[in-house]
Amino acid sequence: MRKQIAAANWKMNLTLEQGEALLNDLLAIPHTLTENQEVVFGIPFPYLTSIKTKLAGKTNIYVAAQNCSNKRSGAYTGETSVEMLKSIGVDYVIIGHSERREYFNETNAMLAEKVNLCFEYGLKPIFCCGEALEIREAGTQNSFVENQLIESLFHLSAEQLTGFVIAYEPIWAIGTGKTATSEQAQEMHAHIRAVLTTKYGSAIANSISILYGGSVKAANAKEIFGQPDVDGGLVGGASLIAEEFAAIINSLK
């Protein structure tokens, strides 16, 4: 059975002290993780090492960087390489979040380079895809998302793709309070899995966790995660509130 994952995306929020306090509060709330469930904290670069240390020994709880460079190494001031992240024990990296695509002009081709480096260094990508409102209104969301996958992931072999996580995040639902209905989420997740099946076969497609992201909160997590092709969530705003995120963790299948 594929992994069910609650992934937090703190974005550019919280000081280290605030982040540690949030984690203390969260870990103090009873939550149970089965063997098949994971919690991932997507935290700012400067806190990766200290939060990783803080979480040491906790079963099925991991840290993710929110980005990585598409360059291997060298004269790229301000960039953080995949090799650097690997060297400090980071487990996952969020790739292609819509905010990075929109504000930092990340293209599908650049994301393919990041994905290649992740595979090479053994870091697991949480690869984000999802359409803007105009595309949803035009009814072309399926082909749009399919193209994102084709251009950034489909050069990989089945073996290389194993262990990757995909996050479907409709842009119109991120940070807006407007969640996709569970039917809309299931429809797109089933489409993504069908596209993966056509390219890689059903064994690989059924092993890949596909997370939903877009205004997930305690009140809607159970219904969304209950859909057959939804394997958890990538959570922004609600991951900054201990009680909310604990309830989201407890909503995993």
Contact partners, residue 63, CB within 8 Å, separation at least 6: 40, 41, 42, 43, 48, 51, 52, 55, 90, 91, 92
The verdict on 96 binding ligand PEP (CB under 6 A) reads no
The verdict on 64 binding ligand PEP (CB under 6 A) reads no
Q: Buried (b) or exposed (e) across 107-122, using 16+ Cβ within 10 A? A: ebebbbebbbbbbebe
The verdict on 9 binding ligand PEP (CB under 6 A) reads yes
Q: Segment near ligand PEP (CB under 6 A), from 22-30, 198-206, 210-218, 243-251?
A: 210-218
- The residues that bridge with 128 in the sheet, in sequence order, are 167
The verdict on 213 binding ligand PEP (CB under 6 A) reads yes
The verdict on 240 binding ligand PEP (CB under 6 A) reads no
Q: Which of 40, 112, 196, 235 binds ligand PEP (CB under 6 A)?
A: 235
Residue nearest to ligand PEP (CB): 236
Contact status, residue 168 vs residue 130, Cβ threshold 8 Å: yes
Q: Which of residues 134-173 bind ligand PEP (CB under 6 A)?
A: 169
Provide φ and ψ at 198, rounded to 5°: -60, -40
Q: How many C-beta neighbours within 10 Å does residue 139 have?
A: 8
Q: How far is the CB of 181 from ligand PEP (least distance, A)?
A: 15
Q: Which of 43, 230, 236, 247 binds ligand PEP (CB under 6 A)?
A: 236
The verdict on 175 binding ligand PEP (CB under 6 A) reads yes
CA dist., res. 131 & res. 78, Å (int): 29
Binding site for ligand PEP (CB under 6 A): 9, 11, 169, 174-175, 213-216, 234-238
